[in-house]
Structure 1
């Protein structure tokens, strides 16, 4: 015996993400969101947006950041498209 309890069952660890619904209420998901949003400015961005990375590096953005499962949920929550990472969708939004 190597000192390990034989009754120990290996449990698979699951990462849990907090996402926002269209009503801006949080919920837990095992699936990473594909869009991030800034709660104060209500701008939604792709996860890989360079503007978000720059703001995160300046340390002022993280506490106001929320995540959505998809773009449609972000739009339904009232978040507008980012002009940097989604310029075509931003142009359409701007004309409305």
Structure 2
């Protein structure tokens, strides 16, 4: 997990370009989603984190975004309701 506040914009763009980062997240709300998600783009820099994979986000106990990952969010929500 990479915190946005700990990397420069140039380093971040480089990591995205070299496909070292695939998923973004909100560390306060424990939500992950696509880098192109409008909700993610609006969050504060100090709350934004990045993951190399969706599996890494799940291992850190983040849930899918309800905006950009509707199907995965629905599956996660259904699983929560059965527990």
TM-score by length of 1: 0.62
User: What residue number does 2:76 align with?
Assistant: 93
User: What residue number does 2:24 align with?
Assistant: 36
**Displacement over 4 Å in runs of 4+:** none
- What is the count of residue pairs matched by the alignment? 67
Instruction: Report which of the two has the higher share of helix.
Output: 2
Work out which structure has the larger RCO, using CA pairs closer than 8 Å and 6 or more positions apart in sequence.
Answer: 2
Deviation at 1:51, TM superposition (A): 1.0
Any unmatched runs of 5+ in structure 2?
A: 7-13
Structure 1 Cα separation of the partners of residues 24 and 63 of structure 2: 11
Is the radius of gyration larger for structure 1 or structure 2? 1
TM-score by length of 2: 0.71
Q: Please tell me the root mean square deviation across aligned C-alpha atoms, in Å.
A: 2.2
**1:72 counterpart (39, 55, 64):** 55
Any unmatched runs of 5+ in structure 1?
A: 1-19
- The yes-or-no answer on 1:62 pairing with 2:50 is no
